Amino acid sequence: MGKYLLDAVVIRPLILGIVVIYHAFIIYNGGWEEPVGFQSIKWYGWIAKFFDTFQMPAIIFVSGYIYGYQQLTLGRFDSLKDIMIKKFKRLVLPSVFFSLIYFFMFYRWEDYTFLSSVLKILSGVGHLWFLPMLFWCFVVGKILVNMCFKRLPSQLNQNELGTLNSKCGLEVVISKDVYVWMSFLFLLMISLFPCPLPLGLGSATRYMVFFWGGFLVWKYRDWIIEKTCDLKYVVLIVSCFLFLFLLSNYFFISVSEDQNLIGRLIKYVVNRIVILPVSISGVCAIYLLTNYVIDKCRVRPASWVVNAGAICFGVYIYQQFVLEVLYYKTSLPQLVGPYWLPWIACVVTFVLSIMFSQLTLKTRLGRYLIG
């Protein structure tokens, strides 16, 4: 895996670090409630805005990218049932377990009915919404794979397999390219419209395009690296991302809850049309920049970067717990002041999240949940 997925090995911990930084600065962007003694700092809010445009799409993109490697190159997850069982254990069960803890720590039970609290926990509380959403991305991804790809007969000899590989660039499947791109365009369209569905389904309709995009980037990886992994293209896509980011903030429309439903829907769709190109260009910039450094500059990730993959899941689980405790259950915001607060919170969160992840992995239950 390391030989082919050095880019994913680098991007995954990089984006996780960005997620932690984003959450540390989100209080300056109105994303979280302001802690006691809070003072607004405008350019801190811009840091949160900047990272928010691509951090979640990039994580989902990498998941789809690795899934493409597993499906198209290794031929894993042969049935929809297999992947549903495996991803339910990997994503949904940890989400429910830690959502219960999160709910007890940061919510008031009396504010919710029994049914609404159960639905909230099953949908993922706080940052844990990401896990059931990703579960549905894998499920839909498998359905699309079954529609768009056909497995090669196992009785093919090596010469026949080599001939097919040279034509389609894959090891174990051949594809129906029309279906592949039609499905991508369909997902692109539905990502523009809000779908208020529970259990992570609504979020999946918004982010599935990035998962399938990652899958397709793996499919065409050799062509993409050969044709676009050049300094001029890297500079072009990074410049494009920065320009679109600044432009999107100029055209972004605030949506007020007291507006009528049609008005909110129109503004939401307009904002999605504005933001989507920013997110896509941001993901492309990270992908091309990483591969340029690895392939053209011949820089290999340090061993600690490679090993970080083992605790990425645990760090994601714990980081928001730590940050919310620091912001809302300690006097840190008053002690350090607004300028130092997010930086100190970042460092403390990284250290404690890594420590908690390593301690959790020493237990049998912990290895089952985040291992």
Of the chain, the percentage scoring pLDDT greater than 90 comes to: 62
Q: Scanning the structure block, which residue is given the tokens 């410049």? A: 239
Q: Which two tokens stand for residue 116?
A: 């609404």
d(CA 283, CA 210): 9
| Domains of the chain by residue range | 6-236+275-370
Average pLDDT, the chain: 87
Q: Scanning the structure block, which residue is given the tokens 């992570």? A: 200
Name, of 133-147, 157-171, 184-198, the range with top average pLDDT: 133-147
Q: pLDDT tens for residues 2-60?
A: 456 889 999 999 999 999 999 999 999 888 999 988 888 989 999 999 999 999 999 99
pLDDT at 79: 84
Separation in Å, CA 173 to CA 4, 82, 148, 212, 250:
18, 18, 10, 17, 45
Q: Which two tokens stand for residue 15?
A: 């984006």
- In 3D space, the residue among 2, 6, 3, 70 whose CA is nearest the CA of residue 215 turns out to be 70
**Phi, psi for 42 (deg, rounded to 5):** -60, -45
- In 3D space, the residue among 357, 287, 289, 282 whose CA is nearest the CA of residue 319 turns out to be 357
pLDDT tier at 310 (50, 70, 90 boundaries)? confident
Across 211-234, b (16+ Cβ under 10 Å) vs e yields: bbbbbbbbbebeebbeebbeeeeb
Q: What is the three-class DSSP state of 150?
A: strand
Q: Which two tokens stand for residue 217?
A: 């980037």
Rounded average pLDDT over 145-165: 57
Q: pLDDT tens for residues 70-96?
A: 888 887 766 889 899 999 999 999 999
For the cut 60, the answer to whether the pLDDT of residue 293 exceeds it is: yes
Residues forming beta bridges with residue 150, ordered by sequence position: 174
d(CA 221, CA 239): 22
Of the chain, the percentage scoring pLDDT greater than 70 comes to: 88
For the cut 80, the answer to whether the pLDDT of residue 358 exceeds it is: yes
Q: pLDDT tens for residues 261-270?
A: 777 677 777 7
- Which residues does 123 contact at the CB level (< 8 Å), separation at least 6? 129, 132, 198, 199, 200
Q: Scanning the structure block, which residue is given the tokens 């007291």? A: 258
Q: pLDDT tens for residues 236-264?
A: 999 999 999 988 877 666 655 556 677 76
Residues forming beta bridges with residue 151, ordered by sequence position: 173
Residue 77 burial (CB count, 10 A)? 19
Q: Alpha carbon 55 to chain centroid distance?
A: 6
Q: Scanning the structure block, which residue is given the tokens 């053209």? A: 296
Q: Which two tokens stand for residue 89?
A: 């254990």
DSSP state of 361: T
**What's the predicted TM-score (pTM) here?**
0.88
- Which residues does 105 contact at the CB level (< 8 Å), separation at least 6? 321, 324, 325
pLDDT at 170: 44
d(CA 51, CA 39): 21
